[in-house]
Amino acid sequence: MSDGLHFVRRIRTSPYFNRVRDHGVSGYSVYNHMILPKSFGMSAEEAYWHLNEHVQIWDVSVERQVEVKGPDAAKLVQWLTPRDLRQAIAGKCYYIPVVDANGGMLNDPVLIKIADDHFWLSVADSDLLLYVKGLAIGAGFDVTVTEPDVNPLAIQGPKAEAVMRDLFGEAITKLKFFHFDYVELFGTRQLVTRSGFSAKAGFEIFLNESSLAEPLWDLVWEAGQPYNMLPGGPNLIDRMEAGLLGYGNEMTAENNPLEMGYGKFCTLDGSIDCIGLSALQRIDTDGAARMIRGIRFDGSPCPPCYVPWPVSVGSQRVGQITSATFSPRLNINIGMSLIDRGFWDAGQTVTIHLPDATMRQGTVCHLPFATNTD
């Protein structure tokens, strides 16, 4: 491969891999120890406009599931997160911060409640499986914790609904955002969510039978051709305009959910128990020392942000940009940054220090950058 990526057993491929190669994949990333197809011959901007105007098919098998099943499943899942799950119902999906004893974020999965004793954690890029297994064993929970053979295929973009209607009928289009249902596929029953890592959240088919991966790809591809479907993958421009934070970029175990703007997902009054509760209560009492914000900044289209870029006010460093791109819709560079208290108000002027030793002038703003990407 031109990008120098070597395929070895420890970096797993997905059951859609042959189809991805057949469609001319031109770039990969590695996510959850798996290959993530990122590009198919288009520039990031070309892929962005196509995603926002038409429909794409994405191999997102990297969205691995941590399955928690058994009599104590609900207790263990609640222990992982400060989000109150007591009223969670089967058939819905829930965004949850997973924290450690210090309140640091270990992952930010989407929780899929299949039944009262059966959950999937659709995880971001970290080894959450091992953490959950360790907690289950150490605390003696009556559960099984596994990674099932589930390989999501995403249909994303404004025409995704039309494609899904043609495939599965009108009923699937009634599915609400962050809800799931089941469809019949090749004589099997498959879970479908109304979700996706894009501003144009479409649908994800959580295929639980690897042997059906290539037939499923072909079925979706054929149904998508009247709607100008192309292969694609998560798009940085789209993600950033929508203010979608990326685990491993905007946040790691060094960050807590309160500073990431996830206070609405935290119940800290003592009515639920979770790992890190006392630490989060202290942070809440003291107030977050920094807060996630957007920064709009001037100049020509910025380079990729491989390492954090310092952000300063005068001679004082007040933050660092962790993701950045040029927004063709807004016609300006945009970046995400944790900004220190006292400097995070919208309108604050800052200086961004790029790796080439140049400086750009910017302004702090709230997320998302674009509230309407239609």
- Per-residue burial over 90-100, b if 16 or more Cβ lie within 10 Å, else e, is eeebbebbbbe
Residue 374 has pLDDT above 80, yes or no: no
Residue 42 has pLDDT above 50, yes or no: yes
Task: Take residue 46 and report the two structure tokens written for it.
Answer: 């070309």
Residue 10 has pLDDT above 90, yes or no: no
- pLDDT band at residue 200 using 50, 70 and 90 as cut-offs: confident
Please give the domain boundaries of the chain with CATH numbers for all domains: 17-63+150-240 (3.30.1360.120), 65-147+256-287 (3.30.70.1400), 289-374 (2.40.30.110)
Residue 186 has pLDDT above 80, yes or no: yes
**Who wins on pLDDT, 255 or 11?**
255
Segment holding 137, helix H or strand E: helix 128-139
Q: pLDDT of 155-166, one tens digit each?
A: 999 999 999 999
Task: Please state the rounded mean pLDDT for residues 303-323.
Answer: 97
What mean pLDDT, rounded, does the chain reach?
Answer: 95
Query: Strands 55-59 and 229-232: what pairing?
Result: parallel
- Report CA-CA distances (Å) from 298 to 117, 124, 262, 326, 370: 51, 31, 29, 10, 17
Residue 313 has pLDDT above 50, yes or no: yes
Task: Take residue 187 and report the two structure tokens written for it.
Answer: 């004589």
Separation of alpha carbons 182 and 235, rounded Å: 27
Helices of type H across 156-263: 160-168, 213-224, 236-241
Candidates 153, 85, 160; CA nearest to 119 is 85
Residue 1 has pLDDT above 90, yes or no: no
Task: Please state the rounded mean pLDDT for residues 198-222.
Answer: 94
Percent of the chain with pLDDT over 90: 94
Residue 210 has pLDDT above 60, yes or no: yes
Q: pLDDT of 234-243, one tens digit each?
A: 999 999 999 9
Task: Take residue 181 and report the two structure tokens written for it.
Answer: 């249902």
Q: Indicate the residue type of 285.
A: T
123 in Cβ contact with 300 (< 8 Å) = no
Helices 128-139/73-80 angle, 10° precision: 120
CA angle 225, 169, 92 (to 5 degrees): 105
Residue 4 has pLDDT above 80, yes or no: no
Q: Residue 307: what pLDDT? A: 95
Residue 6 has pLDDT above 90, yes or no: no
The pTM of the full predicted model, rounded to 2 decimals, is 0.94
Q: Residue 160: what pLDDT? A: 97
Q: Residue 159: what pLDDT? A: 97
Task: Please state the rounded mean pLDDT for residues 349-365.
Answer: 97
322 in Cβ contact with 260 (< 8 Å) = no
Residue 372 has pLDDT above 80, yes or no: no
